[in-house]
Structure 1
Amino acid sequence: MKEAITKYLRYLKVERNASPHTITSYENDLTQFLEFCAQYFDSSDSEVDLQAVERLTIRLWLGELSEEGMAKSSIARKVAAVRSFFKYSFKRGMVEQNPAHLLIVPKKDQPLPKTVNSEDLSRMMELAPGDNPQSAQDRAILELFYSTGIRLSELVSLDIDEVNFDLKQVKVMGKGAKQRIVPLGSSSVTALKRHLQTRKELYGTRTDRDARSALFLAAHGQRIYPRAVQRLVNDYLTRASEVTQKSPHVLRHSFATHLLDRGADIRVIKELLGHSNLASTQVYTHTSVERLKNVYELAHPRAKS
């Protein structure tokens, strides 16, 4: 089974062009399942027989995860990983029957996306006036997140030549290697231009060919990496807002929700976010309804008895 998992992960990377995040998540999930199977069959990881795994084996594992208090969303992801793995194994002739074929995915909890109001976002931008190279880059990153709604992985992979100032747009490489064009607001254009004027001053000991083409740079001059951006956003949101979640994804949520609140077509928002289906975007309609309810309860004289 261990060898089959290795082949499956290589298949995800080479043939399916899955994102590094997806591959890492599936690897962790399948490794955890393998460890359960080794204990269940009383064998070592490398000796677990793939053919011996039955639907009951998988259900017992999922039951154990549920008893440990794991969130339904996490369990659902693990189910997806196991189903995909056994589908691959069955098609490649590694198993005679697919034990995960009719495995039921637990219904996920759907918490509403956390957002930051426009006043706090304006305050956050003012905390990075752009009066030095680092501050200019910080401001450009924050403005770009809120102006475009792009994902963290998409921002760190951006190159300078993917920004078109004449057309005020940026070319983004999304999930599944799908490219899309996203318009830039005037504030983000101004911030990006200011950043590029002093960007070379951020070069350092790790500045290589890749870094010279990168739009944003980390502390030692290499291409910026996700953790550095997460820390940056967390720091600015902590100082500017009381929102409980302080991540780049909160800025993405805010981008989509504010567009919807101001009358943007949800199908347009879907394209801007790079969602493959409309269902992923519709969560923001619930956020807007909740906002309407809050305003109604505060403003209408007979909203509360």
Structure 2
Amino acid sequence: MDIFRHMKALIDKYLKYLAVEKNASKHTITSYRHDLETFLIFTAGVEDTDPEKVDLSSITRLSIRLWLGDLSEKGMAKSTIARKVAALRSFFKYCFKRGHIEKNPAHLLVVPKKDKSLPKTATVEDIKRMMDAVNTETTRGLQNRAILELFYGTGMRLSELTGLNRTDIDLKQNQVIVKGKGNKQRIIPLGKTVSDVLKEFIEKRPELYGNRTDADAKRALFIAASGQRMYDRAVGLIVEKYFKKTSEVTQKSPHVLRHSFATHMLDNGADIRIIKEFLGHANLAATQVYTHTSIDRLKNVYEQAHPRAKT
């Protein structure tokens, strides 16, 4: 039997295609793998067979709809289901174009509309308290401060920050080269505050090397407690730690600092098209969600300040 009748083997081939030919991020590949393997397990359960033996050609649009219905019944967020639909559509399009299936069961599959939720942001005062709460007398603390300042000072993504190398920071020009989605590069200017912190940290950075520090870690800008390159989860814990100390914001993740960067820039008169370039968005629609946050703030200020706002 042709190995490509086995869906799992084809999933591996598809993910290699995403990584090599599409320059997909590690996050996308990990998410798509989970989505496709979860679908494979569900399909195997419906067909009462081993996941290794699921015949790709036996999958129909009904198979996919049954799975999506199951996810919906379990209360999964529409945004998460939308990503899973995107994974299936991309995978089956790949299979169809390469002749592994005669019909594409995901063709014209409708992506559910995502729940509209405004991004969570911290106040300017919250951010100041957060920065002041970091003990910069130790090299590890200095690195924590540099991470927080870089997030809030540039609006970069978590994966972009952990992917930074020492050579991406140019303190003479006060700028950082960021590799975004699809390996697209952009240059973001650095303000004086973040530049000063980075300069002090970079001088002491080798003190964080350990027995497990390899060539990649020595290239990396930030170094985890293990002595290796800083990773996403470790950064998330750092941000959460300082948010808990200084802010009542319900979400305490690195993305809140990215949202806060964009919202505060907009509040202070920055052009939304410029903010789009800072954030590395492919289109303006993704950036426009921040205008809603600012409008909500304007409404709150109006209701509190205008004598006839509530009459």
Counterpart CA distance in 1 for 2:118 and 2:159 is: 22
Paired-residue identity, % = 64
Counterpart CA distance in 1 for 2:54 and 2:217 is: 44
Q: Which residue of 2 aligns with 1:112?
A: 118
Q: Say what the alpha-carbon RMSD is for the aligned residues.
A: 1.1
Please state whether the residue corresponding to 2:281 is helix, strand or coil: coil
Per-residue Cα deviation, 1:202-230 (whole angstroms, up to 9, x for no partner): 12111222222221111132211111111
Task: Point out where structure 2 has 5 or more consecutive residues left out of the alignment.
Answer: 1-6
For residue 23 of structure 2, the aligned residue among 17, 20, 34 is 17
Structure 1 residue runs of 4 or more that deviate by more than 2 Å after TM superposition: none
Counterpart CA distance in 2 for 1:208 and 1:48 is: 41
Q: Which residue of 1 aligns with 2:149?
A: 143
**What count of residue pairs does the alignment treat as equivalent?**
305
Q: Which residue of 2 aligns with 1:199?
A: 205
Counterpart CA distance in 1 for 2:73 and 2:159 is: 33
Per-residue Cα deviation, 1:239-265 (whole angstroms, up to 9, x for no partner): 111111111110000000000111111
Asked whether 1:224 is paired with 2:230, we answer yes
User: Which residue identity is paired with 2:186?
Assistant: R
Please state whether the residue corresponding to 1:170 is helix, strand or coil: strand
User: Which residue identity is paired with 1:48?
Assistant: V
User: Which residue identity is paired with 2:172?
Assistant: D
Q: Which residue of 1 aligns with 2:280?
A: 274
Q: Which residue of 2 aligns with 1:238?
A: 244
For residue 157 of structure 1, the aligned residue among 163, 172, 192 is 163
Please state whether the residue corresponding to 1:199 is helix, strand or coil: helix
Contact 1:130-1:194 within 8 A present in 2 as well: no
Q: Which residue of 2 aligns with 1:46?
A: 52
Q: Which residue of 1 aligns with 2:41?
A: 35
Contact 1:76-1:106 within 8 A present in 2 as well: yes
Please state whether the residue corresponding to 2:178 is helix, strand or coil: strand
TM-score norm. by structure 2 comes to 0.95
Q: Which residue of 1 aligns with 2:267?
A: 261
Please state whether the residue corresponding to 1:234 is helix, strand or coil: helix
Q: Which residue of 1 aligns with 2:175?
A: 169
User: Which residue identity is paired with 2:101?
Assistant: V
Task: Point out where structure 1 has 5 or more consecutive residues left out of the alignment.
Answer: none
Contact 1:117-1:254 within 8 A present in 2 as well: yes
User: Which residue identity is paired with 2:81?
Assistant: I
Counterpart CA distance in 2 for 1:51 and 1:213 is: 46
Counterpart CA distance in 1 for 2:234 and 2:175 is: 25
Q: Which residue of 1 aligns with 2:3?
A: none
User: Which residue identity is paired with 1:257?
Assistant: T
Compare 133-142 and 252-261 and name the one that shifted more: 133-142
Q: Which residue of 2 aligns with 1:102?
A: 108
Per-residue Cα deviation, 1:35-71 (whole angstroms, up to 9, x for no partner): 1111222221122111111111111111111111111
User: Which residue identity is paired with 1:118?
Assistant: V
Counterpart CA distance in 2 for 1:50 and 1:220 is: 42
